[in-house]
Amino acid sequence: MKSLFFNMNLLGVFILSISSWQCEDNRIEADLSHLLLSMDTVSIDLISFSSYRVAPNLGSNDRLYLGTKNSLDVPLAFIGIKDHYYWSNSLDSTVTVDSLHFILYSSDSLLTQTSTPNLYFNPDSQFNESKSTYLDFVGYSIADWESIGQPNVIVNTDTSGIFTYTELVWDIMSIDSMLTDTVDSNLIRNFAIQLNNSDTNFIELFSREATSGDGPMDPKVKMYYRQNIEINEDSTFLDTSNVTIYSFGDISIIDPGSIDAESINLGLSNGIGLRSLVSISFDSASIPEGSLIRKALLSLPIDTSGSSDGYNIIVDPIDESVDTADVVFETDPYLGIGYPYRISSDIENGMFIISLKSFLQNITLGNETNLGFKVIANEKNDPFESINFDIENESAKPVLKIIYVSN
Amino acid sequence: MCPIKKFIPLIFCLSLLMGQGTMNGFGLGHFYENQGITSAGNGLNSLVPGFQSDVSLSNPSTWHHLKYTHLSLSYSGDENTISDLPLLNRYSGLSYASWIVPIKSKGSFGLALVPYADQRITLTDTDTTSFIAFEDTLSLLKSFDRSGGIMAFKVGTSYLFRENLSVGLSVDMLFGSSRQNESIFFDGSSIIQTSRTRYSGVLAEVFISLARQEKINLFASVKQTLRGLDGIYTEKHLFDDANGNGYHDYGNPLDFPLPDSVSAKNEIRLSGIHKPKQFSFGVQSKLNKQTSISFEFSTIKDKGTIPSSLTLPINNWIDHSNDIKLSLVRFPNDISLDLVDKISFRTGLMYKSHTLALSNAIVSEVGGSLGFGFKFKAVGNQVDLNYYLGKRNYSDIFYKTEIIQQMQVGVSLGDIWFVKRRQK
């Protein structure tokens, strides 16, 4: 026992001695010029361009357009309203539907009823938001659709009297039986708007993409109803309420007019479906093996006469090569890789500059192959606006500037 | 033995603490033999007995003089001060662990685990360089971090051929690994080149102890490489350490490129990067029964070749070293009951000279040590405390002087092993 006590004391002194030593680690300065890590740059100006056209689809645009602008015609726009169990309210004997409104929104404070479109209804499927183009509606007519007419226009202001938004409200109680048709097993609540008798030739409304989720400016149907709720045998409760039913899809059908394959500009436009291909002479041997790309900025000069700053452009590496000499297509034959290489940036001061670092690095790592890049306008851009690449500009040639570190 | 079991893991944990010294940057790191005191029990001595009368922990040819099996542990705290900057580095770790079994005073067998080379170092370039990349002027700062080191697992034995002649043999199995981070910092983050090296090699050392006269003992050893130290070198792909933690990981923001997008490079075998050949000689003169003075001389040459693919923190390595030690030891009186007689005293002076391979520059070191030990109980348990103060001069580094302080604490516990005890 005595021995154990002594050994424990000895151990205590030993631990105290070593634990009282405080380690400190400071960097030492030394000549590290022998380290092989070094930085270098490479500039690639062997960049070729070509453009092609596809039938334009405005399904993901955050606006609904009608009319003519910049020689582009939008004769028709479709809005589909979701299926919802409240549609059966009108069939319920305890429920009385007081009003049924189809509502669209605009940011135009000067909109008057005479400049608004007519609303039509059709219970069959008519469009696909992501795929429909003007080619699907050649010779198309909505003459057999149920015409609802023009809306009431309500200009809203905040408490300070400042304009907030304009509502276009159609009373659709007249077609409630069609909206709740139980015989139609494949009922699709399709609405169309068309400028017929208006005093304007162009109108712009909010689409369901304007606000995220079921947003306040989305196209919608609003139902006000009363419901008798039986509390017990002797008494009932009358509940007054409303429900909002949003759209499942909307699209403006834009007609780009006649297409002359010979006169396709090197540029981008959502309205005419103009897209471009950029081919950059870069492969795994363009920088030393094992290098790390720190920056890789592609600079493309833009013709400032026809474009404005803020125009957003998407660059997506091509996933599979396409063996064709055609430049006009119904659907885009060039498939992009997408995430994580699909990137976008705005035009600033007449230049489109974007970082290709991630994709180029993966080319050097052998993970990807350089088949060129698809360059398209962001679907949120104004479809009536287009931009042209200014590749003949001697003072600012298209160039890929790479800063890399090698060892 | 219970307390020993408790503090061995603790010592191992504490030995993981980070630290560095300038010598760690040369070649494969700072060889522990060049780091002042080898163990608290030995003091400055290596060949010549310093642990007990006639026993040196690092000389197997003296082990059979032990009366009991000994388990010895030594823990070292080191402090390096670069006075020109000024810069202070402190680190600590296990410096010696051995288990020695004497066999009927005729031979011995022992195992030891000792650090062989300390590779821990963090260096920053002395200058920031500018690089014009297109329209931008970038400031680049290089740095180099290395962690890890090499350990030696020693298996030793001795045999008493004649009353005055004994021979010892030690086979040192070297093992360890290091991680190197070479980085270049600019524009807000570092580009890092990470590499790893795993080491293995086998050395052998033969020891001879010869008692020439009653008061004069001679010692010698020759160290030879049985299998040169090889390194398995693996280089990782460069990455942009966006999250600044030094690792290629998925932290926020993400490092570039993503860790799973790069594949590992092939391993490279670096053969014979360290092939030491050492000759040591020592003489001990006993002034009386308890006191002796000794002299040791050692020369070592590294015949290894470090290939260019292994980047060194400081672009040089030690080609050969010579050292001279002069020491005075007073051993405790085993039969005295006086407390003072149970205290051992060790002091000595040392001069070391290292010649660097590429520049032929000399790194010299002058140092002195002072230590005490306390022996207790019949089995020869011992507690030792040793302090070393040295001054190292560099001729081709922009700072010239480094002050080294080292404090070692050692515990050695003796016992009778492998004897069947009678049940009480």
Which residue is listed with tokens 């590496």? A317
Q: How far is B289 from chain A (nearest CA, A)?
A: 29
8 Å CB contact of B257 and A362: yes
What DSSP state is assigned to residue A23? P
Q: How far is B172 from chain A (nearest CA, A)?
A: 27
Exposed/middle/buried for residue A241 (C-beta within 10 Å: 0-12, 13-18, 19+): exposed
Residue A11 is nearest to which of B3, B124, B191, comparing CB atoms? B3
8 Å CB contact of B125 and A29: yes
Whether the Cβ atoms of residue B327 and residue B346 lie closer than 8 Å to each other:
yes
Whether the Cβ atoms of residue B371 and residue B346 lie closer than 8 Å to each other:
yes
Six token digits for residue B351: 């001069």
Return the number of other C-beta atoms located less than 10 Å from residue B17's C-beta. 16
8 Å CB contact of A28 and B82: yes
Whether the Cβ atoms of residue B183 and residue B191 lie closer than 8 Å to each other:
yes
pLDDT of A6 reads 61
Which range is least confidently modeled, A13-22, A76-85, A304-313? A13-22
Stated length of chain B:
424
B6 interface with A at CB cutoff 8 Å: yes
Per-residue pLDDT of chain B (424 residues; tens, 9 = 90+): 444 445 444 444 444 333 467 888 899 999 988 888 888 888 899 999 999 888 999 999 999 999 999 999 999 988 888 877 777 788 888 889 999 999 988 999 999 999 999 998 999 998 899 999 998 899 999 999 999 999 999 999 999 999 899 999 999 999 999 999 999 999 999 999 999 999 999 999 999 999 987 889 999 999 999 999 999 999 999 999 999 998 999 988 899 999 999 988 889 999 999 999 999 999 999 998 889 999 999 999 999 999 988 999 999 999 999 999 999 999 998 777 788 888 999 999 999 999 999 988 999 999 999 999 998 888 889 999 999 999 999 887 766 789 999 999 999 998 877 766 666 6
8 Å CB contact of B19 and A25: yes
8 Å CB contact of A18 and B19: no
pLDDT of B17 reads 39
Q: Which of B52, B46, B106 is nearest to B283 (CA)?
A: B46
A97 or A4, which is more confident: A97
Exposed/middle/buried for residue B299 (C-beta within 10 Å: 0-12, 13-18, 19+): middle
Q: Which residues of chain B lie closer than 8 angstroms to A19, CB-CB?
A: 14
Q: Which residues of chain A lie closer than 8 angstroms to B85, CB-CB?
A: 29
The 8 Å CB, 24+ separation contacts for A287-291 are A287/A40, A287/A42, A287/A364, A287/A402, A287/A404, A287/A406, A288/A404, A288/A406, A289/A364, A290/A406, A290/A407, A290/B237, A290/B238, A291/A364, A291/A404, A291/A405, A291/A406, A291/B238
Q: How far is A388 from chain B (nearest CA, A)?
A: 26
8 Å CB contact of A25 and B182: no
Q: Tell me the H-state helices in B108-184.
A: none
HEC-encoded secondary structure of B242-277: CCCCCCCCCCCCCCECCHHHCCCCCCEEEEEEECEE
Residue extents of the structural domains in chain A: 38-55+263-406, 63-255
- Residue A183 CA to chain centroid, in angstroms? 37
What DSSP state is assigned to residue B43? B
Superfamily classification of domain B2-415: Outer membrane protein transport protein (OMPP1/FadL/TodX) (2.40.160.60)
SS3 content of chain B, % helix, strand, coil (to 5): 10, 60, 30
Whether the Cβ atoms of residue B31 and residue B141 lie closer than 8 Å to each other:
no
Whether the Cβ atoms of residue A65 and residue A58 lie closer than 8 Å to each other:
yes
- The second-level CATH assignment, the architecture, of A38-55+263-406 is Sandwich (2.60)
* Nearest chain B residue (CA) to A24: B90
B418 interface with A at CB cutoff 8 Å: no
* Nearest chain A residue (CA) to B141: A32
